[in-house]
Amino acid sequence: MTTQKIVAFTEPSFYGVSFARAAYEQGHKVVSIVSSKENPVKYGYEGIYHDLLVADIRNEESIYNTIRNSEYNGKLDALVPATDYASHLTAKVAERLGLRGIPYEAALRARNKDLAREAYKEHNVPGARFKKVKTFEEAKEAAKNIGYPVVLKPTNCASSQGVYFINNSFELEEAFTNLIDFKVTYMNFKVREEYLIEEYIDGEEFSVEIFLKDKEPLFAVVTEKVTSPLPYFVEVLHTIPASTNKDKEKEIIDTAVSALKAIGIFDGPSHVEVKLSASGPRIIEVNGRPGGDLISSDLLVQAFGIDIFEATVNYYLDTPINLKPRWNRAAAIGYLTAERNGIVAEVTGLEDLHHSEAIVRSHITVQPGNQVTVARNSDDRLGYIITSGNTSQEAKETALQLLKSIKITYK
């Protein structure tokens, strides 16, 4: 029997909802710190928390004071970030409350891509040449020095929002003009007015789902990632474990571990994005949290029977962690996207989804009458299919086949 602990989460949302579920199922008291009382409904975790505290989750003092002024003052056993955007603020508050977690400085580097790039450089972790810029003139100069093609991106966003593939100074001017108008991102967090120009790294992309304990992986697997055709980078397929480049697996994991150490993350879950260039693996970014896109909540469970969220709650509570695979299978998630911009006339082929044995779950959101666009970021995707199989190839092929059988016609 578990002893009931009091575990607080900052704004469970998207992947972070699985934290609340894991703690709830373990029998702990779940306290959710939210920016609005509506959020359990909005993010879909009604019934799996015990109490809500309302705070401005964009403000460290507000989170800290809300806890101090509540009945939980001095009683929390853990404070866990359950949205990436507030992870650094949560880390700071946890430090102030004497609770364990990722060091604030490390969380800050994981949240800000410029600080992360500086850390990789300092620690000789293979990354991309980069320059932080504020104005178009600076961006143009940086791109010229680095050499086209380059990538222009915000320093503190996610979901590929505002990430541009750029071939020349004309494209750069247009993208930069758009980017400086992008002021506020999810949950009203401010987009920093400093941007990155990065060298474009060519090669296949992977992510590493990893859980460190004292700087060593307790668990690590390489996920194969397919993104939409350039100039966009929208994730359209993830396969666990990767079906290609098996011989490079160790090198990819070692690179991810060195990036985490450079950032200062030595414990807990991470999702590290890597491109396999001609000169070997190079870091795209480190996220100091479990992978989103249902990678951690579904694919890891299907492929290995492990629960990284439960492990994370145990890590924060300093109780034993079990990440031993219960089986070795494979899983994939494929996303449906529009081939062109337009208004949807009809969506067909959905019946096939119910007949496939390999399918674990599907959620197709597009409907006749919807205005759709070629996906520019994750939010433009039109639904997903999760499959499992005995091999990666099998899970991946089935997901692709089923996606192909869904046809969208346009008005």
User: Residue numbers of the site for ligand ATP (CB under 6 A)?
Assistant: 128, 151, 153, 157-161, 163, 198-201, 205, 227, 233, 235, 273, 275, 284-285, 378
* Shortest reach from residue 158's CB to Mg ion, in Å: 7
- Rounded CA-CA distance 405/353 in Å is 9
* Shortest reach from residue 371's CB to ligand ATP, in Å: 23
Task: Give the one entry of ligand ATP, Mg ion, none that residue 200 binds, where binding means its C-beta sits below a cut-off of 5 to 8 angstroms depending on kind.
Answer: ligand ATP
The residue among 89 and 295 lying less far from ligand ATP, judged by its C-beta, is: 295
Q: In sequence order, what are the residues at sequence separation of 6 or more whose Cβ sits closer than 8 angstroms to the Cβ of residue 137? A: none
- Determine the interface stretch with Mg ion among 177-185, 206-214, 272-280, 291-299 (rule: CB under 5 A): 272-280
- Determine the interface stretch with Mg ion among 78-86, 249-257, 282-290, 381-389 (rule: CB under 5 A): 282-290
The residue among 157 and 240 lying less far from ligand ATP, judged by its C-beta, is: 157
- Determine the interface stretch with Mg ion among 63-71, 149-157, 267-275, 332-340 (rule: CB under 5 A): 267-275
- Parallel, antiparallel, or unpaired: how do β-strands 29-34 and 6-10 relate? parallel
* Shortest reach from residue 207's CB to Mg ion, in Å: 8
Task: Give the one entry of ligand ATP, Mg ion, none that residue 128 binds, where binding means its C-beta sits below a cut-off of 5 to 8 angstroms depending on kind.
Answer: ligand ATP
* Shortest reach from residue 127's CB to ligand ATP, in Å: 8
Task: Give the one entry of ligand ATP, Mg ion, none that residue 274 binds, where binding means its C-beta sits below a cut-off of 5 to 8 angstroms depending on kind.
Answer: none
The residue among 65 and 378 lying less far from ligand ATP, judged by its C-beta, is: 378
Bridge partners (DSSP) listed for residue 199: 150
Contact, 293 vs 206, CB < 8 A? no
Task: Give the one entry of Mg ion, ligand ATP, none that residue 156 binds, where binding means its C-beta sits below a cut-off of 5 to 8 angstroms depending on kind.
Answer: none
Work out the number of other CB atoms within 10 angstroms of the CB of residue 3: 9
- Parallel, antiparallel, or unpaired: how do β-strands 359-364 and 383-389 relate? antiparallel
Instruction: Outline where 265-389 has alpha helix (H).
Output: 300-304, 308-317, 350-355
- In terms of Cβ atoms closer than 10 Å to its own Cβ (0-12, 13-18, 19+), residue 245 is middle
The residue among 117 and 329 lying less far from ligand ATP, judged by its C-beta, is: 117
The residue among 34 and 295 lying less far from ligand ATP, judged by its C-beta, is: 295
DSSP assignment of 348-406 equals E-HHHHHH-SSEEEEEE---TT-EE---SSGGG--EEEEEEESSHHHHHHHHHHHHHH-
Of 355, 221, 368, 227, nearest to 295 (Cα)?
A: 221
Q: Is 354 strand, coil or helix?
A: helix
* Shortest reach from residue 206's CB to Mg ion, in Å: 12
Give me the phi and psi of 204, to 5 degrees please. Answer: -70, 150
- Determine the interface stretch with Mg ion among 71-79, 87-95, 261-269, 279-287 (rule: CB under 5 A): 279-287
The residue among 209 and 235 lying less far from ligand ATP, judged by its C-beta, is: 235
Contact, 62 vs 89, CB < 8 A? no
Contact, 307 vs 26, CB < 8 A? no
Task: Give the one entry of Mg ion, ligand ATP, none that residue 227 binds, where binding means its C-beta sits below a cut-off of 5 to 8 angstroms depending on kind.
Answer: ligand ATP
Question: Which residue sits closest to ligand ATP, CB atoms considered?
Answer: 233
Kindly report the three-state secondary structure assignment for every residue of 30-42.
EEEEECCCCHHHH
Q: Which residue has the tokens 């950032």?
A: 263
Contact, 270 vs 287, CB < 8 A? yes
Task: Give the one entry of ligand ATP, Mg ion, none that residue 259 binds, where binding means its C-beta sits below a cut-off of 5 to 8 angstroms depending on kind.
Answer: none
Run of H or E including 270: strand 268-277
Q: Which two tokens stand for residue 268?
A: 């807990």
- Rounded CA-CA distance 300/290 in Å is 10
Contacts with Mg ion: how many residues (CB under 5 A)? Answer: 2
- Determine the interface stretch with Mg ion among 172-180, 253-261, 278-286, 370-378 (rule: CB under 5 A): 278-286
- Determine the interface stretch with Mg ion among 7-15, 190-198, 271-279, 326-334 (rule: CB under 5 A): 271-279
Chain contacts with Mg ion (rule: CB under 5 A): 273, 285
